[in-house]
Amino acid sequence: MADFFVAIVSTLVILLLSYLFWQWYTHRNDLTNEKKNTPVLSRADMRENRIKRFEAKEDSSVLNSKSATVPTGLDNSRNLEKTAKDRELQTPESSAESGDDKSRTTNFQEKLNSDSLQAGSTNNQQGKSSVQKSSSNIKPANSRKWVRLSMSNAGSQSEPVTRPLTSLDELRAWMEGFDEQNVSSVPLRRMGNSLEQRPRTIVCHDMKGGYVQDRFIQGYPSAECYRIYHWQHIDIFVYFSHNFITIPPPCWTNTAHKHGVLVLGTFITEWNDGAVRCAEIFKDQLSYRQVADQLVLIAKYYGFDGWLINIENPIQPAQMNNLVEFVKYLTDQMHQASPGSLIIWYDSVTYKGELKWQNKLNAENRVFFDMSDGIFLNYGWNAMDLTYSVRVAGRERQYDVYVGVDVFGRGVYGDGGWNTNKVVKKPTKEVFPE
């Protein structure tokens, strides 16, 4: 009888374990089938989804702007006044409230340690008088001297700033959404998606290496910041620095867009470090398309209008086809994401991969001109180079050739300085006479 009972129990245990195993196996198969049935998104689909999220945010920001106007511009006094108020010490009222809270806490602890209520009252009165004394030393909000900051004080980590990306790893790891204060808030005010067919002006900002006072998103309390007053004469603004990925601060993008000026960031590689970085980027199609996709997403997210591509290091001849395809792919994807955007190539590397500035448009750099929206010629040109460049560009694209003018006159045509206006007239008056 005992053996029969043991056999029954053993059979039940085996059946239970078999049932549990069957449940687990069925659940695992269901999960596996769900994963198999889930469509795999391509890189292009993922980029499109992220761009749609950007556009949804832009639409919501436009609706919000109709009900509230946000002041923009580098020299907006209201922004500086607000920044100054934010950086003040506590007001007398807030200080008094904090003093009262501190006194009440002290009194409560003293009540626990002693039965003397009078001691607590005395401490309370002393706390209030000390608060009033310290509050009298606080300067008013309209004191300009009180809000002046040195660069060391203004560089505290508590203030949001615009920063570049300095490595390939940073570029690949970049994701939108972590620094929304760097997103520009003013859309480009321009009729149509194309530039006019006429001589145009680019201003390439290279002020002390970039990211000086303008990096402070909430403004900088100084009247000595570099600014531009002649936006009506500018078509394109390039924010330039010698960092790998230069992202324009929103103050520049907002101000330029307000005046109908396009804003470009800078993609730059230089010298030995740049050669190593380019070898990694252009090693295969997957790598250079990943970089291009990130550049498109960065421009779309922060709200600027394209890139200046400045490669100033030799390229391995075996990778030159990938470099040319990179420029073409980036231009196409940028146009698709932001109609009217621009990709401009800087005159540096030739089609052979040599670092050899041409100072004109010719057969050595023509392939990059054909794959992009324009070329930014190096500064060592002369009048004959301009005429030759126009002839090579052809009538349809003659205005897509931009001529570098160094206002510091470092060994270039016209010697810069107060002669800069004469140099600017050279392409506009002689090459394109009215």
SS (H, E, C) 103-153: HHHHHHHHHHHCCCHHHHHHHHHHHHHHHHHHHCCCCCCCCHHHHCCCHHH
CB 374 within 8 A of CB 344: yes
Q: What is the per-residue pLDDT for 109?
A: 45
Q: What is the per-residue pLDDT for 327?
A: 98
Nearest to 247 by CA among 218, 186, 200, 205: 205
Q: What is the per-residue pLDDT for 192?
A: 67
What confidence tier does 115 reach under pLDDT thresholds 50, 70, 90? very low
Residue 325 exposure: Cα atoms within 13 Å on the Cβ side: 15
pLDDT in tens, 284-301: 999 999 999 999 999 999
Q: Taking the CB of residue 394, how many other CB atoms lie within 10 A of it? A: 9
By mean pLDDT, which of 124-128, 362-366, 376-380 is the weakest? 124-128
pLDDT at residue 64 tops 60: no
Q: Is this structure's pTM higher than 0.75?
A: no
68 three-class SS: coil
Nearest to 329 by CA among 370, 371, 301: 371
* Structure tokens, 20: 């549990």
pLDDT at residue 249 tops 70: yes
d(CA 342, CA 375): 11
Amino acid letter for position 203: V
Rg, Å, the chain Cα set:
32
Average pLDDT value for residue range 47-69: 63
CB 323 within 8 A of CB 282: yes
pLDDT in tens, 345-363: 999 999 999 999 999 999 9
Phi/psi-derived region of residue 207, left when phi > 0, alpha when psi is between -120 and 50, beta in every other case: beta
Q: What is the per-residue pLDDT for 78?
A: 43
Domain limits, the chain? 77-154, 164-431
CATH number given to 164-431:
3.20.20.80
Longest dimension (CA), the chain: 118
